[in-house]
Structure formats: structure tokens, C-alpha cells
Structure 1
Amino acid sequence: MKKEVGALILRLTVGVIFFFHGLAKFQGGIENTVNMFADLGLPGVLAYVVAFVELIGGVALILGLGTRVVSLLLAVIMVVAILKVKLTNGLLGTGQAAGFELDLTLLAMSTYLIINGNTLFSVDQILSKKSNDQKAVA
């Protein structure tokens, strides 16, 4: 049970953080993110994909819906963010630019959720229970 409670804390924390990061991309003007992606040599349309995955994925994690799949998508985003944006700034940053310590932490947390999942207080748990109940009836 302790493992599930710990995973729940990780799932909710990662969900909230990514939800607000995705929301900020839209509130701050998604075109700014599109331009940043283009400056990095990435297709600008990926800014929309990333913002939606962060926003919708954050909500999905909070609800406990598709935890492993959503965590995988968010982990990929963090790997790209570290390698393409923040690696040159170092772990703690430069004073003018952020380091990759938060990205690395979110990557580790997402990786834990990929490996272990979390069904405590989740939609996945409800769906799994209904599926098992239907199999038992059949």
C-alpha cells in the first residue's frame, strides 16, 4: 500500500506540473513556443503537440487515466527538452537560463510511473474493475 500511495503522490504531482506547463504555453501565446521550436530547428507544429500533451496529459494523470502511456509521452518530451534546450545550461543553469534539474526530476518521476503505473484513486482502476466484473459474469 505504501508503494501505491507514493506512486499516487508522484502521479498527481507530475500531472499538476505538466497541466500548468501546457496551460502556460497557451496563455503566454502558443506562437512564442512555436517560434522557440523553430529556432531550435524543430517543426513549429510540434509546439502544439507538446502543449496539448502536457495539458491533456496532465489532466489524464490527475485522473489516473492511461498513466503509463501518458507518462511515456511526457518522458519523451523531457528527454527532448533536456537534449535540445537545457543541456548546454548545465544541471543548475547559468543565472540567465534555467538548468535541466526540473526536467530531469520530471523525467525520473515519469519513468517511475511508466515502470510501475498507479491505479490508486484512478479512472484506470475503475475501468479495470468493470472489465474484470464483466469477464466474471460472462
Structure 2
Amino acid sequence: MNESTGKLILRLALGILILLHGIAKMTGGIGFISGTVQSAGLPAFLAYGVYVGEVIAPIMVLIGWHSRIGAAIIAVNMLFAIGLVHRAEFGSLSQTGGWALELQGMFLFVAIALVLLGPGRFSINQK
């Protein structure tokens, strides 16, 4: 019971917080991401992957439907975000002494933990 409750809390935290970023992209567009992807020498259409990583995958994680796959997609999305947008901050500390990428790092490592742990019994797949 406690283990499944803990997994549910992780799923809700990751799913809701990433989905909020996705909603912002749906309402504000992905022009910035498209430009960033193109400036890295990648095809512009890859920018649309942000909708998979920040809308579809978090919903999968939230409801517990193939949560491991959804969490893996979020982890890949965060690696792209760190590599394309936050690369210069990777070794930096914030003004308060924390890692400059602590939010992105937390998203990445919680997603990896959910890939390894699975969704728990409070999920559609119940595994």
C-alpha cells in the first residue's frame, strides 16, 4: 500500500508539473523550440515532439496507462531540453547555491525512477 501510494505521488507530481509546461506550449506555441531545434542543425519538425513529451506522456503517467513508456518519453524530452536549451547552465550553480538545472534534473530523475519502479497498483495497468 505505502509503495503504491509513493509511486502515485511521484506520478502525480511529475505528470502535473510537466503537463503544465505542455499546456503553456499549446497556448503559446512552440516557435522558440522550433528555432532552437533548427539552430542545433536538426529538422524543425522535431519541435513538435515537445507535444508528445509534455502533453501525451504526462497524461500517460498521470493515469497510469503505460506509465513506464510515458516516463521514458519525459526523460528523453528532458535530455533534449537540457541539451538544446540549458547546456550552458549544466555546470552552474544558481544565486542561492543550488544547481542551476535542479528543476530539469528533478524532472529527469523522477522520470527515470518511474521507468524503473513502474506505476504501482493505483494505475490503469495495475502493475
Give the TM-score taking structure 2 as reference length: 0.84
The residue identity in structure 2 corresponding to 1:17 is L
Q: How does 1:49-68 map to 2 (within 5 A)?
A: 49-68=49-68
How many angstroms does 1:91 deviate by? 4.5
How many angstroms does 1:5 deviate by? 1.1
Between stretches 108-117 and 80-89, larger displacement belongs to 80-89
Q: How does 1:28-43 map to 2 (within 5 A)?
A: 28-43=28-43
Q: How does 1:88-103 map to 2 (within 5 A)?
A: 88-89=88-89, 90-93=91-94, 99-103=100-104
2:124 paired residue number: 123
How many angstroms does 1:41 deviate by? 2.8
Note the residue ranges of structure 2 that are not aligned, 5 or more in a row: none
1:55–1:77 Cα change, 3 Å: same
1:63-102 Cα shifts (integer Å, max 9, x gaps): 11111111111111112222332131245458xxxx3211
1:134 paired residue number: none
The structure with higher relative contact order (CA 8 Å, sep 6+) is: 2
Q: Is residue 114 from structure 1 mapped to residue 115 from structure 2 by the alignment?
A: yes
Once residues 4 and 83 of structure 1 are traced to their aligned partners in structure 2, the CA distance between those partners, rounded to angstroms, is: 33
1:69 paired residue number: 69
How many angstroms does 1:29 deviate by? 1.7
1:21 paired residue number: 21
Give the TM-score taking structure 1 as reference length: 0.78
The residue identity in structure 2 corresponding to 1:28 is G
Once residues 113 and 80 of structure 2 are traced to their aligned partners in structure 1, the CA distance between those partners, rounded to angstroms, is: 18
Q: Would the aligned equivalents of 1:15 and 1:62 in 2 still touch at CA under 8 Å? A: yes
